[in-house]
Amino acid sequence: MPKDHGVGASSARREDVRFLTGRGKYTDDIALQGQTHAVFVRSQVANGVITSIDTTEAAAMPGVLAVFTGADFADVGGNPAGWQINSRDGEPMKEPKRPVLAHGKVRHVGDAYAAVIAETEEQARDAAEAIVAEIEEQPAVVDMGKALEDGSPLVHDEIGTNQCFDWGWIEDNRAATDAAIKAAPHVTTLELVNNRLVPNAMEPRASMADYDPGTGDYTLYTTSQNPHLTRLLISAFVLGIPENKLKVVAPDVGGGFGSKIYHYGEEALVLAAAKKIGRPVRWTASRSESFLSDAHGRDHVTKIELACEEDGTFIAFRTETMANVGAYLSNFSTATPTFLHGTLMAGNYAVPNVYVNVKAVFTNTAPVDAYRGAGRPEATYSLERVIDMAARELGIDPLEIRRRNFVQPDQFPFTSAAGLEYDTGDYGALVDTLEEMIDRDGFEARRRDSAARGKLRGLGVNTYIEACGIAPSNLVGVLGARVGLYDAATVRVNATGNIAVMVGAHSHGQGHETAFPQVVADMLGVDENSIEIVHGDTSKIPFGMGTYGSRSLAVCGSAVVRATDKIITKGKKIAAHMLEAAEADIEFTDGQFSVAGTDKSVGFGDVALKAYIPHDFPLEEVEPGLEETAFYDPANFTYPSGAYACEVEVDPETGKVTVDRFAAADDFGNVINPMIVTGQVHGGLAQGIGQALLEQTTYDSEGQLISASYMDYAMPRADDLPFYEVDHSCQTPCTHNPLGVKGCGEAGAIGSPPSVVNAVIDALHAGGHTHVTHIDMPLTPARVWSAINS
Amino acid sequence: MYAFDLERPGRIADAVKLLSDSEESQPLGGGQTLIPTLKQRLAMPERLVSLTAIPEMQGVCLSDAGEVCIGGATTHATVAAEAGAYPALAALAAGIGDPAVRNRGTIGGSLANNDPSACYPAAALGSGARIITNAREIAADDYFQGMFTTALDEGEIITEVRFPVPEKAHYEKFDQPASRFALTAVFVAKYADGVRVAVTGASEEGVFRWSEAEAALSADFSAEALSGLSLSGDGMISDLHGSGAYRAHLAKVLTGRAVAAAR
Ligand SMILES: Cc1cc2nc3c(=O)[nH]c(=O)nc-3n(C[C@H](O)[C@H](O)[C@H](O)COP(=O)(O)OP(=O)(O)OC[C@H]3O[C@@H](n4cnc5c(N)ncnc54)[C@H](O)[C@@H]3O)c2cc1C
């Protein structure tokens, strides 16, 4: 029987009522008395020296209140990278300043170098057009390989190179890996591109700043996945506004996918402007601005080698990757290609040798940072493509070659050759489940049916493992993080027994407002509808590192559990007093505090009321009130895993790929709300299939983004996608967090691209096009057709 | 968007007068192309003259000569619903954009714009339609003059389009994955006096007739009749969605499929 409430129930997403009826309240919906409008002037060239900016005419135009250029921010700090990465030779990474507004030089198309504040947006726009900037265009560098050549144009002259770092993982394993590959009976080599993606959240970035001259307090309403981190960056690094004078509010946020983790210059600009003019200043990105200035995702060029025995036993993986960081280091950009990628390069496999080299490269393109999956999709794609290729070369069934190499259930906890300690998993069980889902026996009949219609059918499979619940502070600290990655929650029980839970996680589509109450309701034995989740406001929540890396439930949810535990402990104290019993004798089950071995009990609601009407409290032992806070910092990452399968039909005459079937078997540990988990997988699969088949971010050699609108950038639509088969019945609970959860937000996007591409290659081979061993994503009709005809 | 005045005349004559009054006037159909252009500040007309309130320019009818006649301001949705006498044309209209676009976009706007990847130009050229304006009648063969270029004069408006109904026809569209305009598409129509084949989305010159295919199909209306033919990729559009050679290849594949599907 499916549960109808509490943990394990598919409670309907309560937030959807407001989202689906147009009552969500997004940053752009907020209107403040006297508000003004900011418009940014953005570079049209990818690389240029700013020789002069004349703002005189603009400043004198109707409605204009202020004009800013990079010079106005020359003395404030840069927006920093959150992770310090060292090169193989021990040199720290190159970390050029990322200013609020470009100063002296523009480094990518869309790089903002001036801003106008005016009474109306149209007036600001008119004035922005009247700013006369002389920008001496210089040769741009877009291609990473060229950027690393001697004599390449430089993105940042002051660092003298376009290489940010040259990182090895694990450097001590390099020689052994090289030797193993040299001696191996079979080596499969694959060069591939993990295509750059534009995040395309439905809601574009937006910010509004308010400054109160009476108190000196600033408020920033902004589209953020982590308001406390934004506040910290602005306070500690960029503007120096003390944290106690800056409130950051991220109200409803219409999707982030990573792009709204980071602090952006526009946020600092509106804050500075609001102070200068003494009125609120607002800005909402146009879709074009989003394309040009949101942090993009992926963009790796990789060579991967898999060495194995003739029977398919893996001996070594060696990877060389160039990772594009764009023109500036965005906050997580240095962590994504390294510790979220290199550490996963052993996959689900008990392979003895792994070595990864990543060169991060500056180019005259928009900054690149974490995007749903962040590093782990890149790792999964490289591994699962080269494994598929090896299986084909060796004539081994693609699921079988994976099975032969899996870490076995009795090997956990297992330290992988890439250095992570996987706590639990059962990869063979996932593959068993997958095989039940995909009707493999019926495949040949379906293939014949396709052939009768002139289509080539292919089956592609892959597995994945990810490191989620992005935390523990001690581990990420060793890996170079400049922040801690715990989370926090406060549980406030009101006098009348209903509850507010203030969480550091930020929900921008994930369903926290529904899932978190399920956890608390179960623990306290109360109705989940009496519990409210409060998030996204630094003045209301204790602290929080926000939502990304599938961490909300695993890390923040665990903080909620810890805080609720404290509520129960305190409730026992109060109940002991009410029942005139010893605290040690109080038991709490199903919302009742009772004295062990007696029929004396008192309900949770009565205890809550008592906490706020403490007429006869023993005040030396118990304080009034019922509110507790916990900070939770886990012992390890969590390790969700899965096995995916995709069936495609390829039209060999046009190259068009249609995804006909898709099955995903995931192990997320315990599941709090199966419907929400299914929804998260669906969304992730759409993004993964979008990456595999549709999404193409193309800069020309001059650094112009030629896929800068939906006319050219193909987002997946409903009819591009099949009905998915999704299963999360394989559950090996996480061993180190109190909920036993692993995280499900990114899995679909991480796990799906390889099986789509593997399926297309399989289809082409079945059609006799055996010369096609690889096609780079996205597998557009034109690319597939070219591959067939190459 | 820059500020502009909006007029909504109720008669063709008034619209023409408003358009000729000032050089900075421009007709507005469904706005599906023009409004995004204005929003991006890529055009700054002083006055827009909406054509959608003119009853004479609305609706679909069948003429005595057996032509399907469509008012110049008729929306794609209306054509999809009411041009049943010419099924291939109705189906083409039903496949343009999405419901919002079809409920606003008009046939006159589409033909006036002559986007090289648009659908209606293929139907008009492939059917040998007559484009009726406030001033004259233009044969489709004379009307399309290259990408975004037509025989229309400044201020001239399309009031009606007349399509001779063929024995059989089909529009085979291969979607550009992002915009879902035609990456390449082919309109094939079989008339008593011969077959017409119009290709859109492919050439740098905009929609064109593939005369070799027309000759072959006029002799033998079957996909096999195309087997010896090919188009060159030279002069074809080459962009991130496909090379000229790919488009030339698609044009042939789609022509064959259109022939096979023609009803
Ligand atoms: C999301 C989207 C998807 C689309 N998909 C497709 C597609 O798949 N296939 C396709 O063919 N098209 C597609 N379109 C374009 C659509 O068909 C529009 O109808 C077309 O672009 C213009 O028609 P309109 O009535 O909106 O013209 P407007 O945008 O109003 O005007 C376009 C131009 O024509 C002029 N004009 C308008 N009416 C007349 C007239 N009667 N006489 C003379 N000049 C006139 C205007 O001055 C302007 O220069 C799409 C558009 C959008 C926004």
Cα(A688) to centroid of ligand 1, in Å? 33
> Which secondary-structure segment (H or E) carries B78?
helix B76-82
Do B181 and B211 reside in the same domain of the chain? yes
Min distance A654 CA to chain B CA atoms (Å): 7
Do B37 and B67 have their domain in common? no
B38 and B67 housed in the same domain: no
For residue A232, how many other CB atoms are within 10 A of its CB?
20
DSSP B96-148: SS-HHHHHH-BHHHHHHHT-TT-SHHHHHHHHT-EEEESS-EEEHHHHB-STT
Ligand 1 is surrounded, with C-beta below 6 A, by B 26-34, 51, 72-73, 96-97, 101, 105-106, 108-110, 112-113, 118-120, 157-158, 180-181
* Chain A residue at shortest CA distance from B253: A653
The answer as to whether B51 is a domain residue is: no
Whole-angstrom Cα distance, residue A158 to residue A139? Answer: 17
pLDDT band, very low/low/confident/very high, at A4 (cuts 50, 70, 90): confident
Read off φ and ψ for residue B255, nearest 5 degrees: -60, -45
Q: Are residues B65 and B153 in the same domain?
A: yes
Ligand 1 centroid to Cα of residue B29, in Å, is: 7
pLDDT of residue B198 exceeding 80, the answer is yes
- A522 contact partners, CB below 8 Å, separation of at least 6: A6, A7
**How crowded is residue A9: how many other Cβ atoms within 10 Å of its Cβ?**
19
> Does B50 reside within a domain?
no
Coil, strand or helix at B83 = coil
Q: pLDDT digit string (tens) for A172-207? A: 999 999 999 999 999 999 999 999 999 999 999 999
Contact of B246 with A785, CB cutoff 8 Å: yes
pLDDT in tens, A634-676: 999 999 999 999 999 999 999 999 999 999 999 999 999 999 9
What average pLDDT score do residues A472-492 get? 91
Task: Please say which residue of B145, B163, B181 terminates a domain.
Answer: B163
The model's pLDDT over B148-193, given as tens digits with 9 standing for 90+, comes to 999 999 999 999 999 999 999 999 999 999 999 999 999 999 999 9
The best mutation among B40, B49, B101 to test binding of ligand 1, ranked by most ligand atoms within 8 Å of the C-beta, falls on B101
CA of A698 to the centre of ligand 1 (A): 27
Q: Report the pLDDT averaged over residues A126-134.
A: 98
Cβ atoms of A274 and A563 closer than 8 Å: no
B244, part of any domain: yes
pLDDT confidence tier of residue A573, bands split at 50, 70 and 90: very high
> Residue B33 falls within a domain, yes or no?
yes
Whether B158 and B70 share a structural domain = yes
CA distance A567 to A500: 12
Cα A310–chain centre separation: 38
Q: Cα separation of A155 and A49, whole Å? A: 11
In percent, the amount of chain B with pLDDT more than 90 equals 97
- Closest atom of ligand 1 to CA, residue B32: 26
Other Cβ atoms less than 10 A from the Cβ of B2: the count is 12
Q: Residue A751 pLDDT > 80, yes or no?
A: yes
The 3-state DSSP composition of chain B as helix, strand, coil percent (nearest 5) reads 35, 25, 40
pLDDT category of residue A1 using cuts at 50, 70 and 90: low
Do residue B88 and residue B24 come from a single domain? no
Confidence class for position B23, pLDDT limits 50, 70, 90 = confident
What percent of chain A has pLDDT above 70?
100
Query: How many domains does the structure of chain B reveal?
Result: 3
| Residue A473: half-sphere exposure toward Cβ, Cα within 13 Å | 10
**pLDDT of amino acid A472:** 87
Is the same domain home to B136 and B173?
A: no
Q: How far apart are CA A359 and CA A166, in angstroms?
A: 4
Note whether B145 and B89 are same-domain residues.
Answer: yes
How confident is residue B246, by pLDDT bands cut at 50, 70 and 90?
Answer: very high
**Residue range A413-459, pLDDT digits in tens:** 999 999 999 999 999 999 999 999 999 999 999 999 999 999 999 99
SS3 at position A305? strand
B42 touching A, CB under 8 A?
Answer: no
Q: Helix, strand or coil for residue A493?
A: strand
DSSP character for A453? T
- Cβ–Cβ gap A782/B40 under 8 Å: no
Dmax over Cα atoms in chain B, in whole Å? 56
B119, B137, B163: which is the final residue of a domain? B163
User: Cα separation of A421 and A637, whole Å?
Assistant: 9
Same domain, B103 and B155: yes
Burial (CB count <10 Å: 0-12, 13-18, 19+), residue A214: exposed
Backbone phi, psi, residue B100, to 5°: -60, -45
On whether any CB of chain A is under 8 Å from the CB of B231, the answer is no
- The boundaries of the domain holding residue B97 are 56-163
CATH number at residue B140: 3.30.465.10
Do B150 and B66 share a domain, yes or no?
yes
Output the residue whose Cα is nearest ligand 1's atom 43: B157
A558-586 in b/e burial notation, b at 16+ Cβ within 10 A?
bbbbbbbebbbebbbbbbbbbbebeeebb
Residue bearing the CA closest to ligand 1, atom 11: B118
User: How far does the CA of residue A19 sit from the closest CA of chain B (Å)?
Assistant: 21
Structure-block tokens of residue A78: 């840069």
**Is the pLDDT reported for residue A505 higher than 80?**
yes
Minimal-distance CA residue of chain B relative to A652: B253
Interface contact flag, B178 A125, Cβ < 8 Å = no
Q: What is the DSSP string of A127-157?
A: HHHH-EEEEEE------HHHHTSTT---SSG
Domain boundary among B163, B188, B216: B163
| pLDDT confidence tier of residue A511, bands split at 50, 70 and 90 | very high
Q: Reduced to 3 DSSP states, what percent helix, strand and coil does chain A have, rounded to the nearest 5?
A: 30, 25, 45
Q: Set out the domains of chain A in order of their start, with CATH numbers.
A: 31-138+203-254+260-293 (3.90.1170.50), 300-471+636-788 (3.30.365.10), 486-632 (3.30.365.10)
CA distances A489 to A288, A560, B195, Å, are 37, 5, 73
Residues B148 and B233 sit within 8 Å (Cβ to Cβ): no
